[in-house]
Amino acid sequence: MAKKSIRDIEVTGKRCLVRVDFNVPLDEKDGRMVITDDTRIRETLPTIKYLIEHGAKVILCSHLGRPKGQRSEKESLRPVADHLHTLIGHSVAFSHDTIGAVPAQIIAHMKNGEVALLENVRFEAGEEKNDETLSKALAGLAEIYVNDAFGSAHRAHSSTAGIAAFLPAVSGLLMEKEITYLHDELENPERPFVVILGGAKVNDKIAVINRLLDKADTIIIGGGMAYTFRKLVQGITLGKSLYKPEWEPIAQAALDKAKARGVKLLIPVDAMITDAFDFDAKKIGATKFTAVTESIPDGWEGVDIGPESVKLFAAEIAKAKTVIWNGPMGVFEIPEASKGTFAIAEEIAANRGAKTIIGGGDSVKAVKNAGVADKVTFISTGGGASLELLEGKTLPGVAAINDK
């Protein structure tokens, strides 16, 4: 996409406002808010360290939770400032206001290589409205805008997009990687290029299927959305499995497009089925596997792909030179129904000769839970943003970054 990054400009001595995604989960313990998972903070460390090492004045800006334009102590970024201090070994000045005299004063006293964190930008009512006054006020604190918040790039807010109208705008190192792997690498992928899509609903993923049908050699469809395809292709009955009549024409159009383009479209041939499951309690009733292309009996539903499907998909994954995966193969939150998803995670990780890209959301959890996160090429940090980028949509936060 040829967007400018922090590596393309001079940052030494410059005030850089860096939009990061510090939207971390917090828990209240003994009256204090404690960070329960700091992955998102760690993901931005390469950018922060790069800027520190190059003598920039690093002004970090993020949202946390959904305070809807109101100050709320439980959604303050102060605990993040303390935690960041321990991660980078540099002190982090915390500005309890996001804009105005307080941060301006702090920034005026910053030396090269120092770091400050602004209070939650969503305490400002203008943020989610992409309000120009707020965008200008944020821009007024800095000389360069750095966007490293890929997970928020599908939103046109003041700090993710609007601010870029008033400052030179470049990507951080995380944003740069996300664009490389979820966009650039897929334009001219090394072939065979295998796309694996799963998840619940056909209508949620159809835009991704359609776009990647233009690029892929093979598309593998699993998860809840596969049942509509199985009904159409294999003529089986589905019992209580996830299915909507209105998904049929959508799935049929994808099948037709795959045929017209010579793309191999693979769907499951068997399923693990159950007679009951309670998602909230993570409990499942009796289970069994269907035979190959066997119908699913009334009162039963498919909650995972079966061993024959894993074999079929694994053979394709093993031949790939580029793999992208988005969406689980079954209800992987329930241990009994997670085997198919974990098996696919392992097959992807086992292909060390391919570029293997995990495109956000639940597949990321699956790869981590399967213990193979360090064996894949890239794991996206975005959920909605990854999906939109894979759909070929222009993300406001990416569009706002200056071209090279």
What residues act catalytically? 40, 201, 361, 384
* CB closer to ligand AMP, 301 vs 347: 301
CB of 244 to ligand AMP, least distance (A): 12
Backbone angles phi, psi at 71, to 5 degrees: -70, 135
Cα 67–Cα 69–Cα 75 angle in degrees, nearest 5: 30
Count the site residues for ligand AMP by CB under 6 A: 16
Q: How far apart are CA 98 and CA 244, in angstroms?
A: 46
336 binds ligand AMP per the rule CB under 6 A: no
Please report, for residues 135, 164, 175, 364, the alpha-carbon distance to residue 130 in angstroms, rounded to integers and kept in the order given.
Answer: 7, 11, 20, 30
With a CB cutoff of 8 Å and minimum separation 6, the contacts of 269 are: 234, 292, 293, 306, 308, 309, 312
Query: Which of 170/296 has CB closer to ligand AMP?
Result: 296
Q: Note whether 300 and 273 are within 8 A (CB).
A: yes
Task: Give me the residue whose beta carbon is nearest to ligand AMP.
Answer: 199
- Taking residue 368's Cβ as centre, other Cβ atoms within 10 Å add up to 15
Q: Using CB under 6 A, which of 302, 306, 359, 397 touches ligand AMP? A: 302
Instruction: Choose between 88 and 200: whose C-beta lies nearer to ligand AMP.
Output: 200
Q: Look at strands 287-289 and 355-358 and give their pairing.
A: unpaired
Q: State which of residues 258, 303, 343, 395 lies at the interface with ligand AMP (CB under 6 A).
A: 303
Of 20 and 345, the one with the shorter C-beta distance to ligand AMP is 345
By the rule CB under 6 A, 200 interacts with ligand AMP: yes
Contact present, 73 and 31 (Cβ < 8 Å): no
Based on the shown chain and the rule CB under 6 A, indicate whether residue 389 belongs to the binding site for ligand AMP.
Answer: no
Say if residues 153 and 385 touch (Cβ distance below 8 Å).
Answer: yes
Nearby residues of 225 by Cβ (< 8 Å), 6 or more positions away: 197, 198, 199, 200, 201, 202, 204, 205, 242, 247, 251, 327
Q: Which of 67, 189, 199, 359 binds ligand AMP (CB under 6 A)?
A: 199
Q: Choose between 20 and 387: whose C-beta lies nearer to ligand AMP.
A: 387
* Eight-state DSSP code of residue 180: I
Please give the order of strands across the beta sheet that includes 57-61.
92-95, 115-118, 57-61, 15-19, 144-147, 169-171
Interacting span for ligand AMP (CB under 6 A) from 7-15, 160-168, 289-297, 325-333: 325-333
If one asks whether residue 240 binds ligand AMP (CB under 6 A), the answer comes out as no
Binding-site member from 128, 148, 347, 362 for ligand AMP (CB under 6 A): 362
Using the rule CB under 6 A, give the single segment among 19-27, 97-105, 129-137, 194-202 that binds ligand AMP.
194-202
Residue 239 touching ligand AMP (CB under 6 A) = no
Q: How far is the CB of 316 from ligand AMP (least distance, A)?
A: 19
| Contact call for residue 278 and ligand AMP (CB under 6 A) | no
If binding is defined by CB under 6 A, does position 382 make contact with ligand AMP?
no
Nearer to ligand AMP, 18 or 366 (CB): 366
When asked if residue 330 is in the footprint of ligand AMP (CB under 6 A), the reply is yes
How far apart, in whole angstroms, are the C-alpha atoms of residue 113 and residue 106? 14
Residue placing its CB nearer to ligand AMP in the complex, 120 or 309 = 309
Among 64, 134, 141, 242, binds ligand AMP (CB under 6 A): 242
Among 67, 103, 328, 396, binds ligand AMP (CB under 6 A): 328
Buried b / exposed e over 286-302, threshold 16 CB at 10 Å, is ebebbeeebbbeeebbb
Question: Whole-number minimum distance, CB 242 to ligand AMP, in Å?
Answer: 4
Told to check if 209 binds ligand AMP by CB under 6 A, we report: no
Cα–Cα distances in angstroms (integers) from residue 304 to residues 97, 101, 233, 338, 386, in the given order: 49, 56, 18, 7, 24
Backbone angles phi and psi of 194, in degrees to 5: -110, 125
The correct pick among 71, 201, 365, 375 for binding ligand AMP (CB under 6 A) is: 201
- Asked if 327 is part of the footprint of ligand AMP (rule: CB under 6 A), the reply reads yes
> Which residue, among 162, 156, 232, has the nearest Cα to 394 in the 3D structure?
156
13: alpha, beta or left, given left = phi > 0 and alpha = psi -120 to 50?
left
Q: Using CB under 6 A as the criterion, which residues of the chain lie in contact with ligand AMP when the complex forms?
A: 199-201, 204, 223-224, 242, 302-303, 327-328, 330-331, 333, 361-362
